[in-house]
């Protein structure tokens, strides 16, 4: 266990039993490396976790001295790595997801997949209204333009079946790091 929730709803890192190091991941996010001191069967030393975290700068209202996680943003596996005019950039799953969902409140399902270093697919159900699909497509393109990213965004209208064999991933990078 690497974190516990307090009565105030804060998610505290278990720094009393685990040593945390943090690697910057851009946009104020970090990826933890953990060393567990109390494990009995398998050593865990500087284990690189795949989570993207936003740590709190303020102490928790509960008074705990343990550091608080503001947000678990996503996983490094699904960060889009894109070229830009200013050099390589990372777009986190939450930024990408928010761009699509804020485009229109009628969007309740989608897939955003990076298929190549310069190619992204936005998959939306065919029954979604055309103007909603267009708004979502434009929102992703606007985000990329704002970040000076160079990638083509293809809008693909296909059924979005629920995959029961794995965890649902609406934002997915299929490009090796």
Q: Tokens for 85?
A: 């005019």
| pLDDT surpasses 90 at 71 | no
pLDDT (mean) for 143-154 = 95
Please report which helix (H) or strand (E) contains residue 138, including its range: helix 130-146
Helix 93-103 and helix 130-146, axial crossing angle in degrees, nearest 10: 140
pTM over 0.95? The answer is no
Residue 177 has pLDDT above 80, yes or no: no
Residue 31 pLDDT: 92
Place of tokens 């997915």: 172
Give the burial class of 66: count Cβ atoms within 10 A of its Cβ; 0-12 exposed, 13-18 middle, 19 or more buried: middle
Whether residue 23 has pLDDT greater than 90: yes
CA–CA gap between residue 34 and residue 118 (Å, rounded): 33
- What's the pLDDT score for residue 1? 65
DSSP state of 78: G
Q: Is the per-residue pLDDT at 22 higher than 80?
A: yes
Residue ranges per structural domain of the chain: 3-74, 79-173
CATH 1.25.40 fits 79-173, yes or no: no
3-class SS of residue 90: strand
Question: In this predicted structure, what is the pLDDT of residue 73?
Answer: 83
More confident residue, 128 or 40: 128
**Average pLDDT along the chain:** 92
pLDDT value at 104 more than 90:
yes
């Amino acid at each position: 266990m690497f974190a516990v929730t307090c009565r105030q709803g804060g998610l505290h890192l278990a720094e009393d039993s685990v040593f945390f190091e943090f690697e910057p991941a851009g946009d104020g996010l970090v990826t933890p490396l953990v060393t567990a001191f109390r494990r009995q069967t398998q050593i865990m030393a500087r284990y690189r976790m795949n989570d993207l975290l936003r740590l709190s700068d303020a102490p928790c209202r509960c008074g705990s001295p343990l550091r608080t996680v503001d947000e678990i943003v996503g996983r490094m596996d699904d960060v889009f790595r894109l070229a830009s005019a200013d050099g390589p950039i990372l777009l986190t799953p939450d930024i990408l997801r928010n761009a699509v969902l804020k485009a229109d409140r009628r969007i309740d399902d989608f897939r955003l997949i990076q298929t190549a270093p310069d190619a992204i697919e936005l998959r939306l159900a065919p029954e979604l209204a055309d103007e909603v699909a267009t708004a979502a497509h434009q929102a992703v393109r606007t985000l990329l333009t704002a970040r000076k990213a160079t990638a083509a965004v293809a809008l693909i209208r296909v059924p979005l079946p629920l995959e029961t064999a794995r965890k649902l991933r609406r934002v997915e990078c299929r490009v090796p790091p």
